[in-house]
Structure 1
Amino acid sequence: MQLITEAQVIATLDRDTARQALHAAFAQHGHGQAQVLARHRATSAVDGTALAISAMGAILQADGDLPAVLGTKVYSARNGRYHFLVSLFSADTGAPLATLEANEFTRLRTAAATAVATELLARPEARTLAVFGAGIQARAHLEALMPLRHFERVLVCARSGAEALAAEFGGEAVDAAMAAAEGDVIVTATRSPTPLFDGARVRPGAFVAAVGSSTRAARELDDTLLARATTIAVEWRTAAELEAGDLVHCPAERWVELGELVARPRPRAAADIAVYKSVGIGLEDVALARVVARRLGAC
């Protein structure tokens, strides 16, 4: 079994590879060929320290030169600081193949999944990209989405750091109302427990990706936007039901899984609003781990 370090992951995995790997993994899921293990958490408090251990995973079939694998992602949290590992096993023998340090996976895989959704749901003529937040995921999403459309404007709305992040991408710092009203593609990557903007402001034809939270107690989008949306995409219904606070008041019958859209794309009218809600699932981590392990000779 091989131990793959964070440095090796960073040197091996790029944004385009990550997006392509997730597109293929979601295609498997959409065809009923991949299985997902839901996230499980245990929490405790010891001497005033908040502790948590979480696990999630997936089973992927062989794909080209990539072997069939079983995988789990396990991570610790101590006072809100996280450390991630992914372990891969051979589907042919059951033997362990590799354990990978996975902090970089978590940064890349969320934005890569949003990139898959953007390719499917954002209008080809989208020209303004608006991002709420200025942290790690906001930056990762700007890097992942900028190459996918001919964006002419970048808008950043954040409590702090908006000016600096916007300047890096030739954009401008704006308030929430402007970001919501002028974005053709809108990404919310915050820890906000309440909606960030009035959904009535979102323009017809917009695509909105909410990626900031994975608890039922937090939400970045309001019910007004969800009511206007023609398409509401999720990674996996089971995970969304357990963890998507944005969708608590939105009937699950309205949701479509990302894998279904990859496997069977749907037509979309120019004025239709599409929403993608991400909570992060083990399918994404296992898919990226498999690519890295294959490139480094572990499987």
Structure 2
Amino acid sequence: MIVCFDIGGTAIKGGHAYASQDIRALPRLPTPANDFEAFTACLRQVIGAAEAKPRQIALSICGIIDAQTGKAVIANIPCLHGRALQEDLEAALGLPVLIANDADCFVLAEAELGAGRGHSVVFGIILGTGVGGGLVVNGALINEHGGFAGEWGHAPVAATSAGTPPASLPRFQCGCGQHGCIDATCSARGMERLHQHLHGEMLSSENIVQGWIAGDEACKRSIDVYVDVLSAPLALCVNLTGATIIPVGGGLSNAVPLLEEIDKAVQARILRPFGRPLIVQAQCRMEPGLIGAALAGLRASRA
């Protein structure tokens, strides 16, 4: 048995995992974002509720472990940011600790238990508050030891002309410090920026998608431009990785017609014809970070 966690900026989701099909989630706890001692006390509370001493602790985090330094990059949990987190947690908890990025945990869950079952190369993507992703090859995360692989949302590659007919687009400022990232243009907030740029009005991403489905001309134009911007770099990711399925999570994944439109645009731009949907809604809709952490932890404990 292992204890797994999905660590977010506002809540800690914990669970006890006995097997890949037997993951028992526990009530959420608020994240003590500024107090490391209080943070580890929350983890001990979940560990202490286990029936026996666990073999392993596994964490999904909303950040990155720098593979070169071993230090955590977690901007929204200051008490963890900049720490040699694995070492510090192992010292505090007295158990082996595995840490993985939340998008990596999402795609690991999809590869083993969700839409990616039976596929050798699974590239899972997040379309929501941010644009992220992770890569699983032959059942294993590329990022098993930390790092930035799969972060396709960050690079100055967003088109400055997109849609039919082409619209001129600015290179929006991204939270990572660059201009023109897919994250800045194609996240939920990015979709809202696009709509405001094109039409001079601010609408929520939910209302833009709903308006597009209902046939609103302004929303149709915004989605046309959005899909054009998104599909080119995503097609490159497919060609580069050889992924044969792309499960999508995040808030925008709830709009299945939008995923179908993205799928159509990506498949028109890749080298390999599939003849079936490639971009699909994720199947692990509940707690994919916790599930992915459990799967990674169970595998590490067996090794």
TM-score with structure 1 length normalisation? Answer: 0.30
Structure label with greater radius of gyration: 2
TM-score with structure 2 length normalisation? Answer: 0.30
